[in-house]
Every structure is written in C-alpha cells, then in structure tokens.
C-alpha cells in the first residue's frame, strides 16, 4: 500500500530533508518524489510505501501533522486510493 | 505516479471547497427484535443497534484520517418502527427512547426510522405511531421520523395527508421552546426510498438486507467552483463540467462506502449522489445556480438551471458508483443553504417557486419555515401539493415545513449546526379546508400502470 505526502508552503533550504527524515524514522519507504518551486512557493508530492511502517498509518498521519507545525509547511498525508479513485476511471 | 495537479486538486476540493462525505448511514433491520412483551422489545432494539453499530463511528473516524476526507455525519436507520409496535401493542414512544439511548451509546448524531408507510392505508400500529410522533420528537434528541403518505403505484392517502397537517402543527407546538425543532426531524414523503442515507427521512426498508452501509456524498462548493472556472461557455459545455465534477465527488463516496463496508463486515448498499448543502458560506446549491447566470436564486430561470444541474449530477455520479440509490439529486433545503436563506430573506425565493423547483430536483419542500399561525389544514394542503408532484412525476418528494410558533413573516428561526436558520416565509392564507377534509385516496395516475 502506498500513501501520498503533499507538502506546500514557502520555500527554504532543507524541506525535503526534514520530511524524508521523518519518513525514514517511521519506516515509510520513498518510492517517488515530484517537486517544484513556483515563485517562492514550494510544492512537493511524495509517494511512499507504507507496508513497512513501524506504526499504524493513522499514527503516521499524526506524526506528519506534528512535523507540519514544526517546519511551518502545510502537509497532507493521505492514502493513495483517494487520488486513484478520484482521478482514474 | 499520480500527477501533482490531481493531488492538489483533491486537496483544494477538501480544504477550500467544503468537499466531504455527508453521511455514512448504517441500515439495521429490527424485525428480529419483535417481541410480544413491549419492554423486552425495547431492550432488544437497544441491544441490537449497539451491537451492530458499535464500531461505526470509530471506523468512519479511521477512514477520515487515512484518506484525509471529512465524514460529517455517522447515522443509523432502522426498520419502520410501526412494524415493531404492531406485535407488542405497546407505546411507540418507549421505542423512540430506546432508539435515542442507542444513538447516544454508539455516538451517532441521528437515528432514522420512527416511521410508518401508509400510502395505501393504515394498520392499527401505523395509527398509533403517527399519533405519537409529536410526543416522541419532543422527548428525544436524535430520533428522526418520516411518514410515506403516497406512491405513484398507490396514489395519495389524503386521510394521512390531513393527519400529518395536525401532527406537524402539534410537533411544532410541543417543541415551541426550542424553535420548533421537532418539525426539522419530521418528513412527509411520496415514493420514499428504502435506502436513503440522508436524515430526517432515512429508514431501513423492508426489502433491505439485515444490515447495510449507505453513503451520501456532498460537494456543492466543488461544483460551484468548477462552474465558475468554466467561464462563459454554453450550457452543453457547462453540463459536461458538472458531470465530470460529480464523477469525482461520487468516486470518493464509492471509495469510502466500500472501505467502510469492508472494515465493518457489512454489505455495501448504495451511494446517494446528492448535492447536499450546508449553511457554511460557499457550500450552497443556490450559489451554483447563481454562478450559472442568475442574479439570485429564485428569479426566473431558476427551475431550468436547477433541472440541468440535477440531471448532470446524476449522469456524472452514475458512472462513478456501482450502485446509486437513495434520493440522488440536488437538495434545496432552505434553512441549510446560505444562498437560499439570503434569497428567501429578500423575497426572491418564494414557496411557489420552490414548489416548481422540486419538480425537477431531489426531495421537495425542505426545511421551510412558515408563520406560526399557519393552520393544520394549510400545512396539509402544502403537503398535498408537493406529494402530488412526486406521485405524478414518479419521483420522491418530501415535505419538511416548520411552523415557527409565535413568529411571523420577517422573523427567523435558528436551529444551529447543519440545520441552519431560516426566515419565516409567507403562505397563502386562503382556506383549502374543504379539500383537505374530503379525505379518501387520490387514485394512482394512469402512467403507474406499466405492467
């Protein structure tokens, strides 16, 4: 199973490092990253494999929500199925 | 990999455009709770609901978190209660209390099914249940009640229509100290669906399985924003935009429904493809109509715009779900829709315009506040008109009107929460008493004979 981590906010040095550090700590394996900076806005979507998570997925969502506050970026952690359902026929 | 644009679109829909799952409703059959002893029956009802719906709320909360999509209401619908109290002969209000207690225990926000189906006539139990509605709704918090008084197949039971005028008025009087909130939980139906997940009209029909999960989606804000983005296109192009948006919204409902059904070990019933507004600004069906090109909802052109919207929502939703059911269409509950409230306040939206609108969309005269001195005969006649629209057009229509006891046109009732607030709307004061008093049945229309 996979999840999408979307990170949005003002760009600065080290955002990906901070997010991926938490992924590693929780056992979420990064499968793909797509990132862009438009004007000063940073947008990243990360696809992570959650089969090896060291915790429940909901606890991982909580951990990411805490990180969101720590690094001052908007972070959405959602199961990939919602995007597959909505955007693929 | 899912494209970044798609990811951001979904997040924007949820965060800025109020996209949510409006209701996950578990239908539970209570037929096996029937006992000759009334007290024992009530105990069985309480136990069964608590047993079946024990994990409903926690499972929904888990899904909310995993998918990042809010599920606003978790609800239960049950077998029409009139069928239960037929066997025991006891006081139906005791069952209402059992339902209310069970709803509290499992943590849901409404429980529907304090209902009777009397489209062709009454059983003795139906009679007792209907008579007890005002008392039951005034003594409970979460119980919702509905009465089906007509079907296209059976015609209109005008005795029941007359009776419901009295019941609506009594319910308003008994809950007058709480803005007549009892009437917000009471629906008079024509062609009531058996698998409707939306309150106040949800009940678990007799053709339904032991237990089932039905899901109602929402998303007026998402559709409004898509219409706005579409710009100056023609109606064909606009209908396409709405269809595509409805598809996306419904796919999410389907995902939540199948996930919930899997985790709870309960079969998936239907997704109700409805645009259900909330009083939150931006989550309004009226705003969609206005973005389509009306100065204000209720002006000439409203019915045409709504007809297209309703049809496009259904067409888009249909392909997105394996089973579509319930009410499925655009809702126009006045007090629950910021745009409708505004239009009713300045007089653009009238009762007669709403009646015309209900001929082309889902539900009916919904959450409409009328003057407190509106007579029971007028309440019955308002219902009869609306029910006739449903019967002749082979569709569900419902009436949920709230007489604002002690208030007049220009004043307002406020229920709070999703039920919102509504201005008192004028009704024609001339008397339909003679028609209502005739009683009997209006025969089924010719096109009901399809065999």
Rounded to whole angstroms, what are the CA distances from B214 to B77, B203, B272, B326?
Answer: 10, 11, 7, 8
Residue pair A48/A31 in contact by the 8 Å Cβ criterion: yes
- pLDDT for position A25: 95
Of B7, B8, B65, the CB nearest to A58: B65
CA separation, residue A30 to residues A16, A36, A37, A87 (Å): 11, 17, 20, 22
Nearest Cα neighbor of B170 from B7, B405, B336, B351 is B405
Instruction: Report pLDDT for A37.
Output: 87
Rg (CA), chain A: 13
Peptide bond into B298 cis (omega under 30): no
Listed in order, strand segments (DSSP E) in B97-231 are 110-117, 143-151, 155-157, 186-190, 211-217
The gap between the terminal CA atoms of chain B, to the nearest Å, is 52
The interface residues of chain A toward chain B in range 22-51, judged by CB-CB distance below 8 A, are 32, 34, 36, 43, 45, 47
Question: Per CATH, is B25-190 categorized as 3.60.21.70?
Answer: no
Domain ranges of chain B: 25-190, 216-438
Continuous segment of H or E residues that includes residue B270: strand B268-272
CB contact under 8 A, A34 and B1: yes
Chain A residues with CB inside 8 Å of B69's CB?
Answer: 82
Evaluate whether B362 touches B331 at the Cβ level (below 8 Å).
yes
Alpha-carbon gap, residue B86 to B147, rounded angstroms: 16
Domain region containing A49? 2-87
Roughly what angle, to the nearest 10 degrees, separates helices B351-358 and B302-320? Answer: 40
Looking at residue B397, the DSSP 8-state letter turns out to be E
Nearest residue of chain B to residue A74 (CA atoms): B11
Instruction: Give the three-class secondary structure for B327.
Output: coil
Per-residue model confidence as pLDDT tens digits over B380-414: 999 999 999 999 999 999 999 999 999 999 999 99
Secondary structure of residue B122 in the 3-state scheme: coil
CA distances from B100 to B71, B92, B312, B396 (A): 21, 13, 38, 27
Contacts of B251 in chain A (CB under 8 A): 85-86
Neighbours of B384 (CB within 10 A): 24
Partners of residue B272 on adjacent β-strands? B216
Residue ranges of B 343-402 with Cβ closer than 8 A to chain A = none
Partners of B322 on chain A (C-beta within 8 Å) are: none
- Number of structural domains (chain A) is 1
CA atoms of B147 and B130, how far apart (whole Å): 8
Q: What is the DSSP string of A30-62?
A: EEEEEEEEETTEEEEEEEEE-TT-SS-HHHHHH
Closest chain B residue to A44, measured at CA: B4
What is the full per-residue pLDDT of chain A (89 aa) written as tens digits?
Answer: 999 999 999 999 999 999 999 999 999 999 999 988 887 889 999 999 999 999 999 999 999 999 999 999 999 999 999 999 999 88
User: Residue B46: what pLDDT?
Assistant: 98
Q: Would you state the structure tokens that stand for residue B343, as one six-digit string?
A: 């239009």
Over the range B165-189, which residues count as b (16 or more CB within 10 Å of their CB) and which as e?
Answer: bbbbbbbbebbbeebbbbbbbbbbb
Query: Length of chain B in residues, anyone?
Result: 451
Look up residue B200 and give its two tokens.
């106040």
* Cβ–Cβ under 8 Å, residues B169 and B133: no
Token digits for A55? 């915790």
A-chain residues within 8 Å CB-CB of B8? 6, 8, 43
Task: Say if A6 is an interface residue toward chain B (CB within 8 Å).
Answer: yes
Backbone angles phi, psi at A16, to 5 degrees: -60, -40
**Measured between alpha carbons, how far is B21 from B250 in angstroms, rounded to an integer?**
9
* Measured distance CA(B56)–CA(B238) in Å, rounded: 38
Give the CA radius of gyration of chain B. 21
Altogether, the residues listed in chain A come to a count of 89
- Asked if A4's CB is within 8 angstroms of B255's CB, the reply is no
Q: Tell me if B176 sits within 8 A of B168, measured CB to CB.
A: no
| Cross-chain CB nearest to A34 (options B4, B11, B252) | B4
A75 touches chain B (CB under 8 A): no
Is the Cβ pair A87, B68 closer than 8 Å? no
User: Which pLDDT belongs to residue B1?
Assistant: 66
Looking at domain B216-438, its CATH architecture is Alpha-Beta Barrel (3.20)
- Which H, E and C letters describe B163-179, residue by residue? HHHHHHHHHHHHCHHHC
| Separation CA B21–CA A70 (nearest Å) | 30
**In chain B, positions 259-298, which contact chain A (CB-CB < 8 Å)?**
259
Quote the minimal CA–CA distance from A62 to chain B in Å: 9
- Shared fold status for B25-190 and B216-438: yes
Yes or no: say if B88 and B37 are a contact pair by the CB < 8 Å rule: yes
Closest by CA to B186, choosing from B367, B59, B385, is B367
Give ipTM to 2 decimals: 0.90
Which regions of chain B are under pLDDT 70? Answer: 1
Distance CA B306, CA B308 (A): 5
Contact yes or no for B2 and A36 at CB 8 A: no
**What confidence score (pLDDT) does residue B4 get?**
86
A4: left (phi over 0), alpha (psi -120 to 50) or beta: beta
Q: Tell me the shortest Cα–Cα distance from A12 to chain B, in angstroms.
A: 20
Task: Determine whether the interchain pair A45/B68 forms a contact, defined as Cβ–Cβ distance below 8 Å.
Answer: no
Choose among A47, A76, A85: nearest Cβ to B11. A76
CATH of residue A14: 3.30.70.260
């Amino acid at each position: 199973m996979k999840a999408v981590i979307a990170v949005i906010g003002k760009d600065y040095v080290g955002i990906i490092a901070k997010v991926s550090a938490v992924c590693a700590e929780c056992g979420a394996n990064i499968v793909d990253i797509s990132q862009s900076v438009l004007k000063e806005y940073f947008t990243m979507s990360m696809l992570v494999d959650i089969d090896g998570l060291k915790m429940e997925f909901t606890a991982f969502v909580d951990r990411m929500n805490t990180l969101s506050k720590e690094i001052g970026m908007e972070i959405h952690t959602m199961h990939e199925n919602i995007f597959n359902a909505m955007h693929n026929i | 990999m899912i494209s970044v644009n798609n990811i951001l679109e979904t997040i924007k829909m949820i965060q800025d455009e109020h996209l949510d799952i409006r209701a996950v409703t578990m239908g539970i059959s209570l037929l096996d709770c029937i006992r000759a002893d009334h007290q024992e029956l009530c105990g069985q009802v309480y136990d069964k609901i608590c047993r079946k719906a024990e994990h409903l709320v926690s499972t929904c909360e888990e899904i909310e978190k995993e998918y990042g999509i809010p599920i606003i209401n978790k609800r239960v619908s049950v077998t029409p209660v009139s069928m239960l109290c037929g066997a025991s002969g006891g006081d139906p209000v005791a069952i209402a209390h059992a339902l209310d207690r069970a709803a509290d225990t499992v943590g849901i926000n409404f429980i529907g099914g304090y209902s009777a189906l009397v489209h062709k006539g009454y059983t003795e139990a139906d009679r007792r249940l209907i008579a007890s509605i005002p008392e039951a709704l005034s003594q409970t918090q979460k119980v919702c009640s509905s009465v089906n008084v007509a079907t296209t197949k059976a015609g209109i039971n005008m005795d029941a229509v007359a009776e419901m005028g009295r019941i609506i008025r009594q319910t308003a009087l008994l809950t007058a100290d709480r803005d007549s909130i009892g009437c917000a939980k009471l629906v008079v139906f024509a062609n009531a669906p058996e698998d409707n997940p939306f309150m106040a009209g949800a009940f678990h029909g007799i053709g339904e399985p032991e237990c089932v999960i039905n899901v109602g989606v929402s998303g007026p804000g998402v559709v409004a924003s898509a219409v706005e983005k579409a710009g100056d296109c023609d109606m064909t192009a606009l209908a396409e935009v709405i269809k595509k948006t409805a598809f996306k919204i419904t796919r999410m409902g389907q995902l939540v429904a199948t996930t919930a059904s899997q985790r709870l070990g309960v079969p998936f019933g239907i997704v109700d493809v409805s645009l259900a507004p909330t009083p939150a600004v931006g989550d309004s069906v009226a705003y969609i109509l206005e973005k389509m090109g009306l100065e204000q909802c209720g002006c000439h052109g409203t019915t045409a715009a709504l007809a297209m919207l309703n049809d496009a929502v259904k067409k888009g939703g249909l392909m997105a779900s394996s089973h579509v059911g319930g009410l499925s269409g655009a809702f126009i509950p006045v007090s629950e829709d910021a745009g409708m409230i505004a239009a009713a306040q300045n007089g653009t939206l009238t009762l007669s315009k709403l009646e015309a609108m209900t001929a082309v969309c889902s539900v009916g005269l919904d959450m409409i506040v009328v003057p407190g001195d509106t007579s029971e005969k007028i309440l019955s006649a308002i219902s009869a008109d609306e029910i006739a629209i449903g019967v002749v057009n082979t569709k569900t229509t419902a009436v949920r009107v709230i007489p604002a006891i002690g208030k007049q046109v220009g004043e307002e009732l406020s229920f709070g929460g999703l039920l919102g607030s509504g201005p008192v709307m004028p009704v024609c004061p001339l008397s339909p008493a003679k028609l209502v008093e005739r009683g009997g049945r209006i025969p089924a229309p010719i096109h009901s004979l399809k065999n």
